[in-house]
Amino acid sequence: MFASRVRLLALLLISSSAVSAVRAADPKDNPVATFYSGPEGYPAWTDDISWGRVINMKTYPKGKTVYAKFQRACRELSASGGVLYYPAGTYDFAGKPVGVGLGLPPGVVIRGEAPGKRTLAATGKLVLPTKFVFAYRNRVKGGKVPSDWNFISLAVGEGTSIKTGTDRVGIAWVHFVGASIYFGPDVDWGNKTWGTAVSPVSDQVKKIWAVRPPDGSHPFDVPASGSKKYRGAGKGRLVFGCVLEDAAVLDDFSDPGYGPHGFTMMHYGGRITVYGSRVLVANNLLPRSRKNFRYRQMTDKGERILLYDHGRTCGIDINKDLLASVREGGACAGYFEEGVVVRDNYVFNHGHTGYNVAGNWVTITGNNNDRVFLRQGDRAYGLGPWTLTLDGFEVAGPKSDNRSRAFDLAGKNLWVDGNRFTNTGSSPGKDGEGIVGRGQAATPVFSWAITHNIHTRGVGAGGGLGGLGADCHGLLIAWNKTPGWVGNAEARAGTKMTDCVFLPAKSERVLPDRKTIARLGLKAPLTASPADDPAPPTKVTASAYQQIAIKVAWVAPPDPIVGFRVERRIGEGKWQVIAYRPPRLQGDADNPQMWLDFTAPRNKKLTYRVVAVNGDDSNKGASAASEGIMLGRQRLE
């Protein structure tokens, strides 16, 4: 008897040790901090996610299906937050219930197993060991489309809202097949349904969807709600190191004229859609689709052959594309959510916009928008001929906007640097801008710097970099390579242009030209580098901002210069550029002499300097270094 008890105790100890060994192997680090461990830094707020509270979903015993396990584990973590860790393997979500996505409660992050070696997705390659597979359904003979609700979204608890109850959510290191990501905004939903709301699309909603009350869990809720009021969005939203394969949202819920059996790709939002403040969308790969197909459908020009094309949807949408109905003439607070970082992503497009991004204190660096020029009937996927439409019904013409541009931006205090894009534009169509702020579609340009970007024309349009009929309150465009224009195109009477520098570098021309500037009475931008070396800025200070960023401020030198280069040093390491800023030529109040560094890591000594630069972008105008500062730990409020 005694010997049996000894053996039983030994087995229990061995079993306990084995479980401990498995749990010890589960990663508990911040994967963003691990990946961006060099001088480039990472958003400090990502440390506030409960990375150490982990449920291993491969060994998790509760639930009969992968989806049921997901739901149970989310409930377990809903009060405390934590990580659903999916080790290497394929997880089949094809059997999830109809009419629901994968909803993440506040504080919960999905995490897959990290790849074996460090790879930047912007190169177009990212191989991940963890894969989520979603269902497809036959829509026409020979054509399969993603099932409805194939997306990861937000779970809003009872008595809460997207604005107040969806903080600190995210996904890292997962390859998705047939699914997209939707972390959307909160608007004034009211008690309307898709079919009864007074919106431009209400009369187009199909009968089966007309009874849906919008709540923010579906990408079409915002345009279908009829709301004119933005309420807000959550804080701390992360999409990092993911692959989204064949990720377009199926639009089988509207009928612009092709009949109840027609369908297309959803043209609102993106394959990755993230709204809110403290946002990181980094190192994600949205590759060329392999599941496109041709099909017959009624159009405004009669029955035609169309192309179902995952690449005709927006790639990454942050705080922008869905705000059209609540934009309030460009004053919508959603355009100015603070602390947005978009870096090192790869987006393949065949039409539509690669990146729609808005916010306040925004960093957009190192991204790649690779595309095949959108030409009606082309054989981009070995399929053709076909008819180009705007929405699956209206056939495109020479003046159509197929939204085939690389970066469509809005908001305040943007730095756009080191991005690559090609083959913008469409035929037939009138689009093709490279990096643009469209004054009639979003906000004025408030203190933007567009630097060191490369636009390869290919067979596309020689697009442009800068404003498009926009008021410009501080705009620096320098050291770019583009076959198109730089500056502010389509300037009109009453257009405001202050604190603007348009260095042509390798570009076609500068807009507006001198005659237009004189005719409209505009403030002439600086278009050539001053001859003298710049004097350095003075009184450079660095202070903590809510323990999630560093506020860097300085006093500008009195003489005209091209702009400012803001740099940070971690410990005794090398100086790292964290932003370029427009100069103070006229002293516009919306062009502040400061920068909020949302890539400052925690618990490390940080030092800053600001360099006044001219055309040579040298260190001749470097300021003295600021006093050292360190961000401590503090959870998000």
Angle at 202 between CA 200 and CA 204, to 5 degrees: 95
330, 185: one domain = yes
Confidence of residue 440 (pLDDT cuts 50, 70, 90): confident
What is the overall mean pLDDT for the chain? Answer: 93
Q: What is the pLDDT of residue 10?
A: 46
Q: Is residue 557 part of a domain?
A: yes
Report the Cα–Cα distance between both ends of the chain, in Å, rounded: 58
* Confidence label for 5 from pLDDT (cuts 50, 70 and 90): very low
- Of the ranges 95-104, 471-480, 546-555, which one carries the lowest mean pLDDT score? 95-104
Q: Is residue 600 part of a domain?
A: yes
Mean pLDDT of 517-523: 96
Query: Each residue of 484-498: pLDDT tens digit?
Result: 999 999 999 999 999
Residue 421 has pLDDT above 60, yes or no: yes
Quick check: helix, strand or coil at residue 82?
strand
Domains in the chain: how many in total? Answer: 2
Q: What is the pLDDT of residues 248-295, one digit of tens each?
A: 999 999 999 999 999 999 987 799 999 999 999 999 999 999 999 999
DSSP 572: T
Q: Are residues 211 and 347 in the same domain?
A: yes
Q: Write down the number of H helices and E strands in the chain.
A: 6, 47
513 belongs to a structural domain: no
Structure tokens at 580: 């370029």
End of a domain among 432, 452, 476? 432
**CB contact at 8 A, 41 and 576:** yes
Tens of pLDDT, residue by residue over 88-138, are 999 999 999 988 999 999 999 999 999 999 999 999 999 999 999 999 999
Model confidence at 598, in pLDDT bands (50, 70, 90)? very high
Q: Which amino acid is at 323?
A: L
Please state, for a pLDDT cut of 70, what percent of the chain lies above it: 95
pLDDT digits (tens, 9 = 90+) for 193-208: 999 998 888 899 999 9
**462 near 428, Cβ under 8 Å?**
no
60 has a pLDDT exceeding 70: yes
In the chain, the amino acid numbered 347 is V
**Three-class secondary structure of residue 590 per DSSP:** coil
What is the tens place of the pLDDT at every residue in 283-338?
A: 999 999 999 999 999 999 999 999 999 999 999 999 999 999 999 999 999 999 99
Give the β-pairing of 549-555 and 594-597. antiparallel
Pick from 135, 132, 131: nearest CA to 100:
135
pLDDT at residue 35, rounded to an integer: 98
545 in a domain, yes or no?
Answer: yes
Task: Residue 449: name the closest of 484, 469, 419 by CA.
Answer: 419
Say whether 23 sits in a helix, a strand or coil.
helix
Q: Is residue 14 included in any domain, yes or no? A: no
Check residue 269 and give its pLDDT: 79
Domain boundary among the residues 413, 432, 451 is at 432
Is residue 11 very low, low, confident or very high in pLDDT (cuts 50, 70, 90)? very low
Vertex 424 angle, CA 421 and 427, to 5°: 160
The domain of 423 spans: 130-287+311-370+402-432
Give the pLDDT of residue 633: 67
- Residue 116 in any domain: the answer is no
Q: How confident is the model at residue 241, as a pLDDT? A: 98
What CATH number should be reported for the domain holding residue 597? 2.60.40.10
407 and 548, same domain (yes or no): no
**Is residue 239 included in any domain, yes or no?**
yes
* Residue (of 83, 65, 103) closest to 240 by Cα position: 83
Q: Where are the beta strands (DSSP E) in 233-365?
A: 235-240, 243-245, 250-251, 264-265, 270-274, 277-282, 285-286, 293-299, 302-308, 314-318, 338-343, 346-349, 355-365
Q: Which pLDDT does position 200 carry in this prediction?
A: 87
Instruction: Kindly tell me if the per-residue pLDDT of 445 is higher than 70.
Output: yes
In this structure, the answer to whether residues 550 and 425 fall within a common structural domain is no
Nearest alpha-carbon partner for 411 in 467, 469, 333, 335: 335
pLDDT > 60? residue 18 = no
Shortest CA distance to 526 belongs to which of 565, 490, 554, 487?
487
Instruction: Please state the rounded mean pLDDT for residues 156-165.
Output: 83
Closest CA to 170 of 262, 244, 79, 83: 83
Q: Is residue 88 part of a domain?
A: no
**Pair (426, 560) in one structural domain:** no
Q: Which of 22-31, 194-203, 520-529, 582-591 has the lowest mean pLDDT?
A: 22-31
pLDDT, tens only, 343-370? 999 999 999 999 999 999 999 999 999 9
Residue 19, pLDDT score: 40
Clarify whether residues 545 and 412 are in a common domain: no
In this structure, the answer to whether residues 428 and 546 fall within a common structural domain is no
